[in-house]
Amino acid sequence: MMKQLYIIGFLLFFSGLCGCYEDKGNYDYTETFEITIDSLKESYTLYALVDTLRISPEVSPVNAEYDFHWCVYQTNVQGYAPKLDTIATTRELVYPMTLDPGSYQIVCMATERGTGITRIEDRPLTVTTALAEGWYVLREKDGYTDLDLFSTEKGKIESIIASNNDGRNLQGEARAIEFSYNYKAWDEVNERYVNTNSIFALSKEDAIVIRTSNGKIIRDIEDLFYERPTVANFQNVCSQSSELYLINDGKGHYIYNMSSNSGRFGAALPGDYDLYPGWTYGVRQPLCFDKVSSSFVALNAMSSKVVNFNEKGAVDSVAYPKVNNLNADLLYIGPGIYPSGWALLKKRQTDTCLMYSLEVNNAYTPYNNPAKKCDTLIDDGTKGLLQADFWASSQNNNIIYFSKEHEIRSCNIDANYVEKNQRTLPSGETVTYMRHLKTSDGKVNKLAVATFDGSRYKVYLYDIQAGNLRNDPEILEGEGRVGAMIYINGMTKTTLY
């Protein structure tokens, strides 16, 4: 309360300066001049970056001439005096809401020109964010990548990155997106790095981290690493409870969040390896596949190099499928029913494929064999799964969805790999992305299929029932080609485990 009194006192002093005029000593105390400001609401609540604050004050006496000052200051501050900002000097206030989310006071000052008398009215202003919940779509258009948000509260908001960062966007095709609730960003008030809700966006040639509160860039390729990589070929990123992992040009980088850090990735893990862009993971370390050794490997922030697995498993009496030196190429790797994952490999120079069922929480000492099962499949042209353009494994059951040209099909692994046609897409649309996106609480459980017609994208969000895609999916549309997407609600996100 005292803080507000100090501020109002300053406002009165400020309005006195605004209303200074020559004092000739000719006073008339017989009549009181009183100004009133009406039509202001009791309080205002707006969405940052989306809404516009519009106020048309009714001021009396109506036949007088007035000068106006609109100001705003933050109320929920500790340890320092809030800054008073003038946002308009017109009668009508039209203010696109660019303030950060938080609690403010909006102040209207009307000064009668003849007398210099000023009337002050202030109202609570709450600024919230539409960026905290909805579908984020990472898409590329004309060689540049940006984010479109389909907000739960405010509908579609285009070009989140460019519109909040002076036109800045990402160079190259859209690659990967991730949300982190504990990324470390600098807090200027407390002068330390603090956990910050943030989004990672990767294109082939660029990488940034933005705040979910206001869309502002925290770090970009210039300072996201202690040493900027000599080659920019960003491929994937994931955020775990205590670690952040990133793949650039086949090399793994990490940030260990259980210790103090500045939000920068260290140098690439050393060694002769080349990671495929895909991975699957449990609560912590990603399980990957290395092109050079043709082996399953893992990234672990507690290890100074890429983790190699033993052929020996957790149970001595069990013969585990081989996981090293497989002489095979990775077609797909992704999540299964937690804590499992799937990997589909094609043996080099043969028609043999391997379907691995993986234990995703083995990426820690003693690095036991993560393979639970391996089925051998022959690519004789009869199995669409082996000829697919895109794959998306289910986190609900042992089913893998896949696309071939305009068809979306499913393969039931438990039913001897029987395949079923699920949907046929319009002939002018090409699939660019597929993923089963599911939140840990199960409130979001969709198969996302993104298509491209040469200029625009569509994202089909299919509900899933008993492994089948239901009719009438929600459809998101926009310009460009989709490379990745994620659903965010506060601190909850769609995961890959």
CATH (domain of 445)? 2.130.10.10
Is residue 4 predicted with pLDDT exceeding 50?
Answer: no
Instruction: Tell me, yes or no, whether 65 and 170 share the same domain.
Output: no
Instruction: Tell me, yes or no, whether 237 and 300 share the same domain.
Output: yes
Instruction: Tell me, yes or no, whether 303 and 391 share the same domain.
Output: yes
Q: How confident is the model at residue 194 (pLDDT cuts 50, 70, 90)?
A: confident
pLDDT tens by residue, 244-300: 999 999 999 999 988 889 999 999 999 999 999 999 987 778 999 999 999 999 999
DSSP 8-state class, residue 258: T
Is residue 174 predicted with pLDDT exceeding 90?
Answer: yes
pLDDT tens by residue, 402-418: 999 999 999 999 999 99
Q: How confident is the model at residue 195 (pLDDT cuts 50, 70, 90)?
A: confident
Instruction: Tell me, yes or no, whether 345 and 435 share the same domain.
Output: yes
Instruction: Tell me, yes or no, whether 122 and 213 share the same domain.
Output: no
- pLDDT for the residue 497: 44
Strands (E), 305-339: 307-308, 328-335
Is residue 2 predicted with pLDDT exceeding 80?
Answer: no
Give the containing element (helix H, strand E) for 5.
Answer: helix 2-18
Closest CA to 315 of 362, 271, 276: 362
Radius of gyration (Cα) for the chain, nearest Å? 29
- pLDDT for the residue 48: 86
Is residue 305 predicted with pLDDT exceeding 90?
Answer: yes
3-class state of residue 401 by DSSP: strand
Instruction: Tell me, yes or no, whether 250 and 229 share the same domain.
Output: yes
Instruction: Tell me, yes or no, whether 248 and 192 share the same domain.
Output: yes
Would you state the structure tokens that stand for residue 412, as one six-digit string? 């039931």
Sheet holding 340-347, edge to edge: 328-335, 340-347, 352-359, 371-378
Is residue 40 predicted with pLDDT exceeding 90?
Answer: yes
CATH number, residue 61: 2.60.40.10
Asked which of 109, 129, 149 is the last residue of a domain, the reply is 129
Q: What is the pTM of this model?
A: 0.83
- pLDDT for the residue 189: 67
- pLDDT for the residue 21: 38
pLDDT tens by residue, 318-347: 999 999 999 999 999 999 998 899 999 999
Q: What average pLDDT does range 210-223 have in this prediction? A: 95
Q: What average pLDDT does range 466-487 have in this prediction? A: 98
pLDDT tens by residue, 118-143: 999 999 999 988 888 999 999 999 99
Q: What is the dihedral of CA 426, 429, 435, 436, to 10 degrees?
A: -20
Instruction: Tell me, yes or no, whether 80 and 216 share the same domain.
Output: no
Is residue 27 predicted with pLDDT exceeding 60?
Answer: no
Percent of residues, the chain, with pLDDT higher than 70: 91
Instruction: Tell me, yes or no, whether 100 and 160 share the same domain.
Output: no
Closest CA to 132 of 67, 76, 198, 79: 198
Q: How far apart are CA 441 and CA 419, in angstroms?
A: 29
Which of the pair, 399 or 82, is modelled with greater confidence?
399
Q: How far is CA 199 from the centre of its chain?
A: 4
- pLDDT for the residue 363: 64
3-class state of residue 315 by DSSP: coil
Is residue 216 predicted with pLDDT exceeding 70?
Answer: yes
Instruction: Tell me, yes or no, whether 53 and 138 share the same domain.
Output: no
Q: Cβ neighbours of residue 23 under 8 Å, at least 6 residues apart?
A: none
Domain count, the chain: 2
Would you state the structure tokens that stand for residue 368, as one six-digit string? 């036991």
- pLDDT for the residue 12: 43
Q: Which of 98-102, 166-170, 306-310, 336-340 has the lowest mean pLDDT?
A: 98-102
Q: How far apart are CA 81 and CA 119, in angstroms?
A: 23
Q: How confident is the model at residue 31 (pLDDT cuts 50, 70, 90)?
A: low
Asked which of 98, 129, 160 is the last residue of a domain, the reply is 129
Mean pLDDT, the chain, whole residue set: 90
Closest CA to 141 of 106, 182, 171, 111: 171
Would you state the structure tokens that stand for residue 460, as one six-digit string? 């089909």
Instruction: Tell me, yes or no, whether 71 and 176 share the same domain.
Output: no
User: Is residue 272 a contact partner of residue 288, using CB atoms and an 8 Å limit?
Assistant: no
Most confident of 39-43, 292-296, 300-304: 292-296
Cβ contacts of 403-410, under 8 Å, gap ≥ 24: 403/431, 403/434, 403/449, 406/431, 408/434, 408/449, 408/469, 409/384, 409/385, 410/467, 410/468, 410/469
Domain that holds residue 363: 133-495
Q: How far apart are CA 413 and CA 417, in angstroms?
A: 4
Q: Cβ neighbours of residue 296 under 8 Å, at least 6 residues apart?
A: 287, 288, 289, 290, 309, 323, 324, 343, 356, 358, 370, 371
Asked which of 114, 129, 144 is the last residue of a domain, the reply is 129
User: Is residue 200 a contact partner of residue 493, using CB atoms and an 8 Å limit?
Assistant: no
Is residue 14 predicted with pLDDT exceeding 60?
Answer: no
Instruction: Tell me, yes or no, whether 327 and 394 share the same domain.
Output: yes
- pLDDT for the residue 60: 95
Q: How far apart are CA 125 and CA 46, in angstroms?
A: 8
Would you state the structure tokens that stand for residue 213, as one six-digit string? 């509160």
